[in-house]
């Protein structure tokens, strides 16, 4: 018997950035930092589920990718961590279901995944470099 190639595995990278909070300190004014955070987030995600400029919070909707034997869902959560100095905590949430065509709404079907789809592998470093 020949095992099928796991497309989710080959379309992703092992990462210590998945499902962890990264704190990024910026010397930029808050209005500029917010604009950069929003731009980067929108470059990777079409839908923002919640954005609150006053509290510095952004949460995207889930982006889902279906493979033959797996469904991967990914989202970004941004939180303002401090005001002086200005800091943001960014979390790239990556989860898998182990089954094809799982609805993103079936939270109980997903588990944290220590991999990131290639589409999102540079998102944390982009936040880090552009917010400096």
pLDDT at 131 over 80: yes
As a whole number of angstroms, the longest Cα–Cα distance in the chain is 60
Give a yes or no: residue 32 inside a domain.
yes
Q: Is 68 within 8 Å of 8 (Cβ atoms)?
A: no
pLDDT at 5 over 90: no
pLDDT of residue 40: 97
* Helices and strands counted in the chain (H then E): 3, 9
Give a yes or no: residue 1 inside a domain.
no
**What global pTM score does this model have?**
0.93
Domain count, the chain: 1
Q: What is the DSSP string of 90-106?
A: EEEEEEE-SSTT--TT-
pLDDT at 81 over 90: yes
Burial class (CB in 10 A: 0-12, 13-18, 19+), 46: exposed
pLDDT at 6 over 90: no
Report the CATH number that the domain containing residue 94 is assigned in CATH.
3.30.530
| Dist CA 110 CA 123 (whole Å) | 22
Please give the residue range of the domain that contains residue 28.
7-130
pLDDT of residue 4: 75
Give a yes or no: residue 75 inside a domain.
yes
Give a yes or no: residue 70 inside a domain.
yes
| Dist CA 45 CA 93 (whole Å) | 13
Give a yes or no: residue 45 inside a domain.
yes
Q: What is the pLDDT of residues 23-49, one digit of tens each?
A: 999 999 999 999 999 999 999 999 999
Give a yes or no: residue 2 inside a domain.
no
| Dist CA 110 CA 30 (whole Å) | 35
Distance of CA 99 to the CA centre of its chain: 21
């Amino acid at each position: 018997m020949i095992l099928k190639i796991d497309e989710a595995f080959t379309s992703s990278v092992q990462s210590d950035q998945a499902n962890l909070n990264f704190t990024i300190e910026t010397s930029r004014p808050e209005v500029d930092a917010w604009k950069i955070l929003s731009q980067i987030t929108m470059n990777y995600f079409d839908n923002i589920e919640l954005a609150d400029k006053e509290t510095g919070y952004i949460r995207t909707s889930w982006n889902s990718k279906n493979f033959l034997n797996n469904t991967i869902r990914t989202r970004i959560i941004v939180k303002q961590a401090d005001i002086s100095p200005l800091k943001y905590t960014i979390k790239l949430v990556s989860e898998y279901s182990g089954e094809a065509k799982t609805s993103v709404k079936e939270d109980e079907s997903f588990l944290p995944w220590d991999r990131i789809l290639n589409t999102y592998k540079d998102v944390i470093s982009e936040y880090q470099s552009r917010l400096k």
